[in-house]
Chains A and B, each alone.
Chain A
Amino acid sequence: MSTDGAQTPIADQTGEATTRTLHIWRGDLTDGGLVEFEVETAPGMVVLDAVLEVQRSQAPDLAVRWNCKAAKCGSCSAEVNGRPSLMCKTRLDHLPEGEPITVEPLHAFPVIRDLVTDVSWNYEVNKKIAPFTPKPDADWLIGQEDADRMSEFRKCIECFMCQDVCHILRNHRMHDRYFGPRFLIRLASLEMHPLDDLDRIDQISGEAGIALCNITKCCTEVCPEGIHITDNAIIPLKERVVDRRFDPLFRLLHRRPR
């Protein structure tokens, strides 16, 4: 008794199968370049489908990182036609027809091999951010507006594409002076938590390096979750930093330092 029957999709009856050309970056830290592959396409196919088909049938040692294939885990970030994209969410038929599709690893991090990069720096940055620390007298009543504000930042799936596209990291390689958009929104979600007891402004203006951001909004443009990184996190945080600088009373009366 087959259960495949209920779900086996019927392909669009659009005629003969078409193929697309992929230029996939292959190599490691020492050397690499684009390699051409042809794949047969199916309706609604995404870039990850095509890459996995290449892996299955033509290049069994092609290195690619992926897991959920549902745009929820943020593993399969790559640069598709030069733009940071989740491969699992990028449909082939949304890319210019008749042109090869280039697939490259993220540029802001060291490549391990082929499409896989070493993103461990992000995990090190995350460790520097003190965890949520509730006020001792918290009543645990939170309004929906506060939940919505924090939730926007907590939607982040850690695909690190905002880090990839940020010129401070990508071009200036200032990984030692700037946390990057991903961790500024993490700091924003904590700083805007009505029950968090820590003063995070010193870290935001200090080692997180928020002043380095000059609001080009590249991060917002590539965010697959549509988080308004610049407008809703970075700019308000910059304002809080500035407020602090000109209001010495605030320092005395506000929350205890971390």
Chain B
Amino acid sequence: MSAERHEYDVIVLGTGGSGLRAAIAAAEAGARTAVVCKCLLGKAHTVMAEGGVAASLGNVDPADGWETHFQDTMFGGKYLNNWRMAELHAREAPDRVQELERWGAVFDRTPERKMSQRAFGGHTYRRLVHIGDRTGLELIRTLQDKAVHSGIDVFMETIVTRLVKDGDRVTGMFGYHYATGAQVAFACRSLVLATGGGGRIWRVTSNSQDCTADGHALAYEAGADMVDMEFVQFHPTGMVWPPGVAGLLVTEAVRGEGGILRNSEGERFMERYDPKRMELSTRDVVARSIYTEVKEGRGSPHGGVFLDVSHLDPAYVKMRLPSMYDQFYELAGVDITKGPMEIGPTCHYFMGGIRVDAETGQTIVPGLFATGECSGGMNGANRLGGNSLSDLLVFGRRAGTSAAQAASDAPAPRLPEAELALAAAELGGFLTGDGLTGPAEDPYRLHRELQTVMGDGVGIFRDEAGLETAIGRLHELEARAANLRAPSARLDYNPGWRLCREVRNMITVSLQIARAALMRAESRGAHSRLDHPRYDDYWSEHNILICGDGGEMTLEARPVVTSDELTELVEARQEAERV
């Protein structure tokens, strides 16, 4: 087989925050490192993050500390988080943010000229380090500039369609260059997946085009197991109008800065759902409240509710929320300093993902690591805003360092020809139609149908009948996906070709989400069952693991990973919430 080949100690798939942070750590540890990404460098979905990065520096509220951040994260995750991950995250986030500043990141300041910190949903103290409402861009640009001076090779616009194994061990991956269609094989001693989430499974989403759950599916096919897949975060505030931008994120910082939610009757409806935290309740609660208001007929003209900052000083709004001001002015023709925004829930983030070891990011498959949104465990049933950017930094670094260490002990990677041939046949089949067993399926159409199935049956509110219907329809889509074929046979820049494999990935992951959602017969965090509206004692202590290993998908409930040393902190918080 004649594909272009490369070999490295460590390869990172994905160049968002966690991928870049992992690559920097691996290179610093002395590994020959490359990053591979679908987009251009610096354009991954992390650029979309707006509000900030959570770290208990205590610059604004000196009482803050890692213990409170840990407790907030556990409470937000409804205690399903991997305790050790939540602990490491809370303990290490301050160092990671300070390190970022030392690499040239610029954040907003306090009067004492320290990094400023803002309030956010579910955080006890003002904790989010930020720069205006474009913190993700600051993070990715800083990491990008650090990475290009770290001796890391970058493969941009390269699509990976399969992981390659030699026996039990992942030894590389196979894909092609989007611009030419030329096949490429990568061999490595350690592979780090940092592919982000899969928001494109839903029609209304804040996610970029690239977010098609590739890493989730690739790892699952290679034998990794998944955790918490039923928990998908619907961000409470996405744009609802005009249609072309439906789903586009409206940062939580709007509420952090004092934005008020109202229904069509002018009521500040959060009083009914969470009078204590109001607009700054956790995202799961606010999203459900908005959904309920709309369902009960108190929505805005375009099917959302109103979010208002017009009572704030216009100059302050433009200074603190500049991109929101632009976004509404340009795209919706609304001046948010004068009138309210129309917003509604939008698919935003996967709490669930590839199950990894807390310390190292190692999956159960030798040679395979995962970090960032594509990994699971850190956020439990619901993620707090601001915890994603800190998660990327903390666990990106850990995965990169561990991958480099593991690489130094790993055998020279071998890519079995039979595996490569299989991968090449799948990729070629999408283009030529070779191996099809029925009429060709159009990837655009199948993607639309998938979005309809998931929107209908596996959205914010779920029930048994709806989930069972969705699972049946997903199996039908899965069967039809065997006959996916690109509408054009061109090799260069062929979007339909690329979408074929992405649709397969999304269908696989949709099944995981729907089946886990059916199994969890309770409501918790981002998972709301109309037929089981309350917490369940058994499920309060169990995560759902999903394993396939090339065959049938199996689900298993397993006790949450706890830690004796943290019991006191957790119980103190549970007690405080009861009062």
Contact = CB atoms under 8 A, between A and B. Distances in A.
Contacts of A123: 41, 148, 154
A128 to B, nearest CB: 10
Interface in A1-44: 1-11, 42-44
Interface majority SS (helix, strand, loop, mixed), chain A: loop
A1 B457 contact: yes
B493 A147 contact: no
Given A1-B461, A141-B112, A6 B249 contact: no
30 contacts: A1-B459, A1-B530, A3-B202, A3-B460, A4-B204, A5-B294, A6-B290, A8-B303, A9-B243, A10-B302, A43-B242, A44-B245, A44-B332, A61-B494, A67-B44, A67-B209, A70-B327, A71-B327, A71-B330, A72-B47, A72-B48, A114-B493, A127-B149, A130-B149, A131-B103, A131-B104, A140-B98, A147-B107, A147-B131, A190-B104
Contact of A3 (B48, B210, B459): B459
Interface residues of B, number: 90
B65 interface: no
A141 B113 contact: yes
Contacts of B77: none
B332 A147 contact: no
Contact of B113 (A7, A44, A62, A142): A142
Given A6-B303, A123-B154, A155-B137, 8 more contacts: A1-B461, A6-B304, A7-B303, A70-B248, A142-B106, A155-B132, A157-B137, A189-B106
A9 B104 CA distance: 42
A89 interface: yes
A3 B234 contact: yes
A182 B455 CA distance: 41
Interface in B142-166: 145-146, 148-149, 154
A115 to B, nearest CB: 9
Contacts of B494: 60-61
Contacts of A68: 43, 45, 47-48, 208-209
Contacts of A3: 202, 204, 234, 291, 345, 455, 459-461
Interface in A132-173: 132, 134, 140-144, 147, 150-151, 154-158
Contacts of B112: 141
A142 B291 CA distance: 43
B137 A1 contact: no
B455 A73 contact: no
Interface in A34-67: 42-46, 49, 55-56, 60-67
Contacts of A157: 47, 137
A151 B103 contact: no
A75 B208 CA distance: 11
A61 B344 CA distance: 34
B197 interface: no
Interface of A: 1-11, 42-46, 49, 55-56, 60-75, 89, 91, 112-114, 116, 119, 123, 126-127, 130-132, 134, 140-144, 147, 150-151, 154-158, 189-190, 193, 226
B148 A126 contact: yes
Given A61-B494, A142-B113, A151-B132, A1 B244 contact: no
Nearest to A63: B493
Question: Which 8 A-B pairs have CB atoms at the shortest separation, nearest pair first?
Answer: A44-B242, A3-B459, A132-B104, A63-B493, A61-B488, A60-B487, A141-B113, A73-B43
A8 B291 CA distance: 12
A74 B148 CA distance: 19
Contacts of B327: 70-71
Contacts of A112: 179, 492-493
Interface of B: 39-45, 47-48, 98, 101-104, 106-109, 112-114, 131-132, 134, 137-138, 141, 145-146, 148-149, 154, 179, 202-204, 208-210, 234, 238, 240-249, 290-291, 294-295, 299, 301-304, 323, 326-327, 330-332, 344-346, 444, 452, 455-457, 459-463, 466, 486-488, 490, 492-496, 530
Contact of B137 (A5, A44, A61, A72): A72
Contact of B43 (A67, A89, A127, A131): A67
A87 to B, nearest CB: 11
B486 A49 contact: no
B109 A4 contact: no
A189 B106 CA distance: 10
A44 B202 CA distance: 21
Nearest to A89: B330
A127 B344 CA distance: 42
A11 B243 contact: yes
A62 B466 CA distance: 38
Contacts of B462: 1
A116 B134 contact: no
Contacts of A61: 488, 490, 493-494, 496
Nearest to B179: A112
Contacts of A73: 39, 43-44, 47-48, 208
Nearest to B494: A61
Contacts of B294: 5-6
B333 to A, nearest CB: 8
Contacts of B154: 123
Contacts of B486: 60
A258 B109 CA distance: 29
A132 B487 CA distance: 47
A103 B308 CA distance: 36
Given A66-B209, A69-B208, A142-B109, A9 B240 contact: yes
A197 to B, nearest CB: 12
Contacts of A67: 39, 43-45, 208-210
Contact of A119 (B40, B106, B210, B332): B40
Nearest to A74: B43
A134 B208 CA distance: 34
Nearest to B448: A56
Nearest to A158: B42
Contacts of B452: 4
A7 B244 CA distance: 12
B195 to A, nearest CB: 14
Contacts of A8: 246, 303
Contacts of A141: 112-114
Contacts of A45: 242-244
Contacts of B245: 44, 46, 69-70
